[in-house]
Amino acid sequence: MGLLAWVGLVPLMVAISGRSSGLGFLLSYICGIIFFAGVFTWIFDVAGYKIWHHAVLGVFFGLYFGFFGWAFNFISKRLGIIYGYFAAPFFWVCLEYLRSNLSFMALPLPLLAHSQYQFPVIIQIASLTGAYGISFLVVSVNAALSAMFFASVRSTGINAKKRPTHSLLSKRGKIAIMLSTASVVAFVLLYGKLNLSEPHTGKMIKVSVVQGNIDRQKKLNPRRHKKFIMQRYADLTKKASKDGAALIVWPEAATPGFVLKKLPLMKKTVSLIRETKTHFIIGSSEYPKFIKERFDPKKYGNTAIFFSPEGKVLGQYLKIKLTPFGEFIPYDEIIPWPKFIVPEGKKSFELPGEDHTIFELNGAKFGVIICWESHFPGLFRAFVKKGANFMLNITNEGWFGEAGLYQKMVTSVFRAVENRVSIARAANTGVSCFIDPYGRITGRVQNNGKDILVEGYLTQNIPLSHERTFYTSYGDVFVYLSIIMMGLIIVLSIFRSKKRP
């Protein structure tokens, strides 16, 4: 329901306009708690996740909304409310960036930009600004609408006595915010139109993605269900191989065991690869997530293995960005985590990779990102900077509720636009899909109209990209400029107490 994002912040911004900084923080904080508690209800599907975990999530991440409300009113009080509306999108971008990169507490979804993934014209600006530029645009529109609505309320005298004089909006201020917002929107739409009008004339490569839909209970007991799991993937793979793809992709941790360490499993896998006579990317892990067992972290990791049609291992990528509390326990030797967050006996048990591995197939270069990694634009663009012509995202999100499967898929749309590369996504339970360099989802694995919690495969020709976008080359320059602008506004607010309309 992406259209609602363009007015979604209006009630909050009108409610806090002209209030004290403290009340602005409180109202925004309550809004943030409700927002995060609601948007992440799908995490309750994870075994052991309880209401108090959800409370901690809402209370902590709701602070980002709270600080937004505080800054908005602090600036409004010191400089005048028109400056508060002007600064709102800059501060929102700064807070989203902080939330997305705060060490092990990073939570880069859902950003406000993600609500626009179904509107290709709007999201093309991400090739310059990253997804944060779209969040900036959406907040700018919300701020302009809030200013107009609040001004009309003030002009009628409704509740006016409770709002101080610095909350008055001058006619010149209203015109300025409307014209500036309209200019930004016009630029984004024009940029999007021009980009989408460019036809792709480059080479293509045919790729098949396989969606096994292995139930989480079977994933929790891979040894017991290894025959079923391998048979499921073998049946789907043989069907997919008839499409003549150059590459067949299995999801994250698809094999019931670490294929390079277990000889019987290796023999079965190689036999299937030789039968299909195709290159493979296979997700493999010695053990599934969320299992309390002891492993040597120096030997095991979450990997993607590249096989030749003869079954020879051509390369391996080891997941770099591990999932906090799922694949590692942050600072477990320093922080005495309470048992309700980290169960007793749970240890850091996966080894992170260090190399942005690039594979090559028929002259085309590609990289693989695994699960959680797709949410981090800096990590993704590192592969493209090293020469990747297309990207793969392998994942297993079957631990989460249905809404989570879609939220996680959406981030891949923005990675494609930011770097102008195609993405083939293979997910255990969905959504497995193909995304073109402009962020358009060109096909999904479906069964009876459903694209999640179903088994299947899909084969498509995907375009190879050789161009490098501004974002690929320079990263989050737009965010850094927003941080500088926000810093200047705050400094000006501190040293200039004269209130202006």
The answer to whether the CB of 339 falls within 8 A of the CB of 53 is no
What single-letter amino acid sits at 28?
A: S
Radius of gyration for the alpha carbons in the chain, expressed in angstroms and rounded? 25
Active-site residue, from 252, 327, 373, 418: 252
Nearest to 278 by CA among 190, 362, 388: 362
Identify whether 371 is a catalytic site residue.
yes
Indicate which residue of 218, 268, 319, 321 is catalytic. 319
* Burial bucket for residue 207 (CB in 10 Å: 0-12, 13-18, 19+): buried
Cross-strand bridge partners of residue 328: 324
* Inter-residue contact 83 to 68 (CB < 8 Å): no
Half-sphere exposure of 295 (CA within 13 A, CB side): 22
Instruction: Name the burial class of residue 437, with classes exposed (0-12), middle (13-18) and buried (19+) by CB atoms within 10 angstroms of its CB.
Output: buried
- Helices 131-156 and 477-495: angle between axes, nearest 10 degrees: 40
How far apart (Å, rounded) are the C-alpha atoms in residues 235 and 212?
10
Q: DSSP letters along 312-376, please?
A: -EEEEEE-SSPPBTTTB-TTTTT----TTTS-TT-------------EEETTEEEEEEEGGGGG-
Amino acid at 455: E
Sign of CA dihedral 251, 256, 261, 264: negative
* Residue 319 appears among annotated catalytic residues: yes
Phi-psi region of 157 (alpha: psi -120 to 50; beta: other; left: phi over 0): left
31, 94, 371, 433: the catalytic one is 371
d(CA 2, CA 14): 21
Cis peptide before 110 (omega within 30 of 0): yes
Spatial strand order of the sheet with 204-211 comes to 313-318, 303-307, 279-284, 247-249, 204-211, 456-463
Stated as kind and residue range, the H or E segment containing 281 is strand 279-284
- What are the catalytic residues? 252, 319, 371
